[in-house]
A and B are shown apart, each in its own frame.
Chain A
Amino acid sequence: MLKITNLHARIEDEPEGEILKGLDLQVNPGEVHAIMGPNGSGKSTLAYILSGRDGYEVTEGSVSFEGDDLLEMEPEERAAAGVFLAFQYPIEIPGVANMYFLRTALNAIKKTRGEPEVDAATFMKMLRQHAEVVGVRSDLLKRDVNAGFSGGEKKRNEILQMAILQPKLAILDETDSGLDIDALRTVADGVNQLRSPDRGIVVITHYQRLLDYIVPDHVHVLVGGKIVRSGDKSLALELEEKGYGEALAAAGVASPEPALNA
Chain B
Amino acid sequence: MATALETVEAYTGHEYKYGFYTDIETDTAPPGLDEDIVRFISAKKNEPEWLTEWRLQALRRFRDMEQPEWQKPEVGEIDLQAISYYSAPTQKEAPKSLDDIDPEIRRTYEKLGIPIEEQKMLAGVAVDYVFDSVSVATTFKAKLKELGIIFCSMSEAVHDHPELVRKYLGSVVPQGDNYFAALNSAVFSDGSFVYVPKGVRCPMELSTYFRINAAGTGQFERTLIIADEGSYVSYLEGCTAPQRDEHQLHAAVVELIALDDAEIKYSTVQNWYPGDHEGKGGVYNFVTKRGLCRGKRSKISWTQVETGSAITWKYPSCVLQGDDSIGEFYSVAVTNHKQQADTGTKMIHIGKNTRSRIVSKGISAGRADQTYRGLVRVLKGAEGARNYTQCDSMLIGDKCGAHTVPYIEVKNPSAKVEHEATTSKISDDQLFYCRARGISEEDAVALVVNGFCREVMDELPMEFAVEARKLLAISLEGSVG
Interface of A with B (CB < 8 Å)?
51-54, 74-76, 78-80, 84-85, 87, 90-96, 101-109, 111-112, 120, 144-145, 161, 165
B125 at the interface (CB under 8 A from A): no
Given the complex of chains A and B, what is the CA–CA distance between A96 and B451 in angstroms?
5
Chain B 433-481 interface residues, beta-carbon cutoff 8 Å to A: 433-441, 443, 447-448, 450-455
Question: Shortest beta-carbon distance, B441 to chain A, in Å?
Answer: 7
In the complex, what distance in Å separates the CA atom of A246 from the CA atom of B427? 41
- Give the most central of B429, B438, B452: most A CB within 10 Å: B438
What is the bound-complex CA distance between A52 and B453, given in angstroms? Answer: 28
A101 proximity list for chain B (CB < 8 A): 434, 437, 447
Taken residue by residue from 86 to 126, chain B's Cβ proximity to chain A (1 for < 8 Å, 0 otherwise) reads as 00000000000000000000000000000000000000000
- Asked if A51 and B436 sit within 8 Å, CB to CB, the answer is yes
Tally inter-chain residue pairs, CB-CB below 8 A: 88
Kindly specify which of B1-9, B10-18, B153-161, B258-266 makes contact with the partner chain.
B1-9
User: Is B451's CB under 8 angstroms from A93's CB?
Assistant: yes
Least CB distance, A260 to chain B, in whole angstroms: 17
Q: Which residues of B contact A91 (CB under 8 A)?
A: 427, 429-430, 432-433
A102–B433 Cα gap in the complex (Å)? Answer: 12
- The chain B residue sitting closest to A76, CB to CB, is B435
- Which B residues have a C-beta under 8 Å from some C-beta of A? 1, 3-5, 427-430, 432-441, 443, 447-448, 450-455
B438 touches A93 (CB 8 A): no
What residues of A have a CB within 8 angstroms of the CB of B428 in the complex? 54
Interface pair B434/A93, CB less than 8 Å apart: yes
Contact of B452 with A94 in the complex, beta carbons under 8 Å: yes
A and B contact pairs by CB, cutoff 8 A, 11 listed: A51-B436, A85-B436, A93-B451, A96-B447, A96-B450, A101-B437, A105-B437, A107-B3, A107-B5, A108-B439, A111-B5
**How far apart sit A95 and B457, CA to CA, in the bound complex (Å)?**
10
Q: Which chain B residue lies CB-closest to A95?
A: B451
How near does chain A come to B460, taking the closest CB pair, in angstroms? 14
Tell me whether A90 and B433 are in contact (CB under 8 A). yes
Please give, as numbers and ranges, the residues of chain B lying within 8 Å of A109 by CB-CB distance: 438
Beyond A75-B436, A87-B433, whether A108 also contacts B5 by CB under 8 A is yes
Query: Which chain B residues lie closer than 8 Å to A53 at the CB level?
Result: 432, 436
8 Å CB contact of A54 from B3, B4, B432, B443: B432
Inter-chain contact B450/A108, CB cutoff 8 Å: no
Closest to B361 in A: A95
Assembly CA distance A53 to B431 (angstroms): 10
Instruction: Report A-chain residues with C-beta under 8 Å of the C-beta of B443.
Output: 104, 108
| Complexed CA–CA distance, A165 and B447 (Å) | 18
Whether the Cβ atoms of B435 and A93 lie closer than 8 Å is no
Chain B residue nearest to A110 in the complex (CB)? B438
For A85, A104, A161, the residue with the greatest tally of chain B CB atoms inside 10 Å of its CB is A104
Contact A76 B440 (CB under 8 A): yes
A84 to B3 Cα, complex, angstroms: 22
Chain B residues with Cβ under 8 A from A106's Cβ? 438
A161 to B439, CA, bound (A): 13
A109 to chain B, nearest CB (A): 4
Q: Is the CB of A144 within 8 A of B432?
A: no
Contact partner, B454, options A78, A95, A120, Cβ 8 Å: A95
| Contacts A54-B428, A104-B3 given; does A75 touch B435 at CB 8 Å | yes
Q: In the complex, what distance in Å separates the CA atom of A72 from the CA atom of B19?
A: 38
Q: Is there contact, CB below 8 Å, between B438 and A80?
A: yes
Pair A93/B5 contact, Cβ less than 8 Å: no
Known contacts A104-B447, A111-B5; is-contact A93 B437 (Cβ 8 Å) = no
Tell me, rounded to whole Å, the shortest Cβ–Cβ distance linking A54 to chain B: 7
Residue in contact with A93 in the complex, picked from B436, B441, B448, CB distance below 8 Å:
B448
Min distance, Cβ A229 to any Cβ of chain B, angstroms = 30
Interface-centre pick from A75, A84, A92, A161 (highest chain B CB count, 10 A)? A75
Whether the Cβ atoms of A104 and B4 lie closer than 8 Å is yes
Query: Which residues of B are found within 8 Å of A108, using beta-carbon distances?
Result: 5, 438-440, 443
Beta-carbon contact of A52 and B435 below 8 Å: yes
Write the chain A residue with the least CB distance to B454. A95
Asked if B450 and A95 sit within 8 Å, CB to CB, the answer is yes
Q: In the complex, which residues of chain A have a beta carbon less than 8 angstroms from the beta carbon of B452?
A: 94-95
Give the docked Cα–Cα distance between A75 and B432 (Å): 7
Is the CB–CB distance between A79 and B450 below 8 Å?
Answer: no
Which chain B residues border A85 with CB–CB below 8 Å?
436
A residues less than 8 Å from B453 (CB atoms): 95
A108–B8 Cα distance when bound, in Å, is 12
Contact check, A76 vs B455: say whether CB atoms are below 8 A apart.
Answer: no
- Smallest CB–CB gap between A86 and chain B, Å? 10
Q: How far is the CA of A85 from the CA of B435 in the complex (A)?
A: 11
B1→A120 contact, CB < 8 A = yes
Q: Are B438 and A94 in contact (CB under 8 A)?
A: no
Give 14 A-B pairs besides A91-B429, A104-B5 with Cβ atoms closer than 8 angstroms: A53-B436, A75-B432, A76-B436, A91-B433, A94-B452, A95-B451, A95-B453, A96-B451, A107-B5, A108-B5, A108-B438, A108-B439, A109-B438, A120-B1
